[in-house]
Amino acid sequence: MKTIGFIGCGNMGRAMVEGIMKANLVDGDHMIVSNAHPERLSELSEIYDCYISDNESVAKNSDIVVLAIKPYLYKEVITSIKDIVKDDVIIINIAAGISTQDVVEMFGRKVKTVKAMPNTPAMVQEAMSALSFSDNCDQDDKEDVIAIFESFGQCREVEERLMDAVMVVSGSSPAYIFMVLEAMADGAVMQGLPRNDAYAFAAQAMIGSAKMMLETGKHPGELKDMVCSPAGTTIEAVAKMEEMGLRSAIIEGMRACANRGKEMSKK
């Protein structure tokens, strides 16, 4: 069994660790986690019986190291671990704006590395992640990494140049999806539904609609049309939302997200 190490265990790292441990991909002896505030992880180590340690120990003892720290910390952290990681370690880079080439340059050698873009639904085994492997990863390395990402959801290999596109539609999108859900619940509360019921109806409508699109393979426009009765209620909502710029608000928000990714990768 390979040992998986996490350096940084905040929102994204923790969602991945919880997803991996819930799926029993490794036992607690093969999961080592470090964080700037290790005291925040005591509950995690109690539930999953995994090791909470420091960056040095994660670097020395892990076969696969996930760098789940903010992008601006990559240089500093890699400098402190580059001479102590195992020779054939696989480094997983999940940071927005940090490329495979950046990681190789920071290590000063052609370390095996994977550029990945997960999302926080990893916490409930429903992540969708994109992976791009450096050319020195062999088939076994790929299988080990895919097994990690599949333990908490689905994953697809994509060309690294498309990572920012994946980030806007998947890595970042839970934020806007939660905004939509919150707004939908507000709309129902305004009509008199209690808040908790409103969240349950809104979230289940989101799950059901997404599942319907994936399972039927039908165009989303066709599925939308199935809900809009002639002269009915839904078409009034659709017309008002178009008037208020719902779609362009989403598209322009995603453009801003991509632009920020490009800006971050220039630094």
Ligand X SMILES: O=C(O)[C@@H]1CCC=N1
Q: Where on the chain is the footprint of ligand NAI (CB under 6 A)?
A: 7-13, 34-37, 55, 68-71, 73, 77, 94-96, 117-120, 171
Q: Is 11 annotated as a binding residue?
A: yes
- Determine the Cα–Cα distance for residues 200 and 185; give it in Å rounded to an integer: 9
- Is 93 labeled as ligand-binding? no
134 binds, among ligand X, ligand NAI, none (CB under 5 to 8 A by kind): none
Q: Cβ of residue 9: shortest distance to ligand NAI, in angstroms?
A: 6
Residue 205 marked in a binding site:
no
- Contacts of 141-150 spanning 24+ positions with Cβ under 8 A: 141/90, 141/112, 144/2, 144/63, 144/64, 144/90, 145/64, 145/90, 145/92, 145/114, 145/116, 147/25, 148/4, 148/16, 148/20, 148/25, 148/64, 148/92, 149/116, 149/118
Interface residue with ligand X among 81, 172, 185, 198 (CB under 6 A) is 172
Identity of residue 60:
K
165 binds ligand X (CB under 6 A): no
Question: Could you say whether residue 129 binds ligand X (CB under 6 A)?
Answer: no
Q: Name the residue nearer to ligand NAI (CB basis): 93 or 198.
A: 93
118 near ligand X, rule: CB under 6 A: no
Among ligand X, ligand NAI, none, what binds residue 53 when CB lies within 5 to 8 Å by partner kind?
none
Beta-bridge partner residues of 92: 66, 114
Among residues 167, 185, 198, 202, the one that binds ligand X under rule CB under 6 A: 167
Q: Which is nearer to ligand X, 113 or 172 (CB)?
A: 172
Q: What is the dihedral of CA 133, 137, 140, 144, to 10 degrees?
A: -50
Q: Specify the DSSP element, H or E, that contains 91.
A: strand 90-93
Binding site for NADPH: residue ranges? Answer: 55
